[in-house]
């Protein structure tokens, strides 16, 4: 099966030579120490961030869990749908995730979210931007409104920027109560190495780090991540491959935009919905492509497709056209 259900990168970013060099030079007989600071400094420089406001963990997943545990005591709220792990981690420690449903066209009403926050007073609101699963990028004003409303109830906002590297840079909302999450699992092609970052200021930073293990990430992952940023040209090529793949995916699905509804996406995946969306997904499964379908009620008519290798598009295009001919 060609994987299209995980929003990961179809290629690996490092050559065998680079990997061997990193493994040979990693002091894995010692606890990781300067490896962590080195990677944080490299990442901070690449994104013009303050290294003292960054910490690493095993994927942004671990940060979601830590945010729930350290900031979510009085309730956690999110839009429905959003990234499934918000619900799973919340329901490990609280009775339920509080949710604000999307509109029938999978748009989001921020006034409704504000009202829900004022009524329920959660201590944490989590949102992905670009949004998973729709690929939509929210406006700065909308995110600022969420951050400010959470501040009014003495709460925090987690802004999960897992897919931000596929989108346009944007003016970020401001506030001491915001935690930004980043990852090397998507555009950087390192999902298996589990490298997630949290960025926050002052007391918020202290709080989300209050339950850390002494060594937050292993030395090999950290050194492989540092190696990735050492060759700018190679990295740019790797990114461009994925941007091209996204273009091809957009074109492939546009062939059937008269039969299914397609959301314009700023991530490495495309969200489709409508009466025939799942039918197309199931047809493609029978042809060896594995999109994401859902069993949650709100997403029952939806399917999401992530980027694949460029070489796989001719077969995908052919399969989509074969499906189209049925209608």
User: Of 179-218, which residues contact ligand PLP (CB under 6 A)?
Assistant: 183, 185, 191, 196
Q: How many residues bind ligand PLP (CB under 6 A)?
A: 13
Q: Which of 162, 278, 280, 308 binds ligand PLP (CB under 6 A)?
A: 162
CA-CA distance, 65 to 60, in Å (whole number)?
A: 9
The nearest distance, CB 120 to ligand PLP, in angstroms, is 22
* CA-closest candidate to residue 149, choices 187, 189, 100: 100
DSSP 217-267: S-HHHHHHHHHHTT-HHHHHHHHHHHHHHHHHHHHHHHTTTTTSEE---SS
133: cis peptide before it, omega within 30°? yes
Identify which of 139, 143, 112 has the alpha carbon closest to the alpha carbon of residue 127.
143
Q: Does 165 bind ligand PLP (CB under 6 A)?
A: no
Structure tokens at 288: 């060896």
Q: Is 81 in the site for ligand PLP (CB under 6 A)?
A: no
DSSP 93: H
Dihedral angle, C-alpha 165, 167, 173, 179, nearest 10 °: -30
Stretch that binds ligand PLP, among 34-42, 59-67, 70-78, 228-236 (CB under 6 A): 59-67
Which residue lies nearer to ligand PLP by CB, 83 or 108?
83
Q: Please report how close the Cβ of residue 162 comes to ligand PLP at its closest, in angstroms.
A: 4
Please give the Cα distance from 184 to 278 (Å, whole number): 30
Q: How far is the CB of 53 from ligand PLP (least distance, A)?
A: 18
Name residues contacting ligand PLP, limited to 255-274 (CB under 6 A).
none
Binding mask 124-143 for ligand PLP (x = CB under 6 A): ----x---x-----------
Nearest residue (CB) to ligand PLP, 165 versus 256: 165
Residue 24 CA: distances (Å) to CA of 36, 192, 243: 17, 20, 32
Q: Which is nearer to ligand PLP, 134 or 144 (CB)?
A: 134
Positions touching ligand PLP (CB under 6 A) are: 7, 59-61, 83, 128, 132, 160, 162, 183, 185, 191, 196
């Amino acid at each position: 099966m060609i994987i299209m259900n995980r929003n990961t990168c179809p290629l690996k970013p490092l050559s065998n030579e680079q990997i061997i060099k990193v493994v040979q030079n990693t002091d894995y007989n010692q606890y990781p120490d300067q490896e962590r600071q080195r990677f944080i400094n490299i990442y901070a420089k690449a994104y013009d961030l303050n290294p003292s406001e960054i910490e690493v963990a095993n994927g942004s997943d671990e940060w979601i869990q830590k945010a729930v545990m350290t900031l979510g005591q009085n309730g956690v709220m999110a839009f429905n749908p959003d990234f499934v792990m918000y619900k799973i981690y919340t329901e490990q420690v609280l009775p339920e995730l509080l949710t604000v449903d999307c509109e029938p066209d999978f748009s989001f009403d921020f006034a409704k979210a504000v009202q829900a926050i004022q009524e329920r007073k959660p201590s944490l609101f989590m949102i992905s931007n670009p949004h998973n699963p729709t690929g939509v990028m929210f406006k700065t004003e909308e995110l600022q409104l969420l951050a400010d409303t959470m501040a009014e109830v003495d709460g925090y906002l987690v802004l999960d920027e897992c897919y931000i590297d596929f989108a346009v840079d944007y003016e970020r909302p401001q506030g001491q109560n915001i935690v930004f999450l980043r990852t090397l699992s998507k555009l950087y092609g390192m999902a298996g190495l589990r490298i997630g970052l949290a960025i926050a200021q002052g007391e918020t930073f202290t709080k989300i780090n209050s339950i850390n293990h002494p060594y937050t990430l292993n030395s090999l992952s950290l050194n492989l991540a540092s190696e990735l940023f050492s060759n700018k040209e190679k990295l740019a090529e790797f990114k461009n491959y994925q941007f091209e793949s996204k273009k091809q995916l957009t074109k492939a699905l546009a062939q059937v935009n008269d039969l299914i509804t397609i959301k314009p996406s700023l991530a490495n995946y495309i969200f489709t919905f409508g009466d025939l969306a799942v039918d197309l997904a199931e047809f493609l499964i029978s042809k060896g492509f594995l999109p994401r379908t859902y069993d949650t009620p709100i997403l029952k008519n939806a399917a999401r497709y992530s980027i694949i290798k460029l070489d796989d598009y001719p077969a995908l295009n052919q399969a989509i056209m074969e499906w189209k001919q049925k209608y």
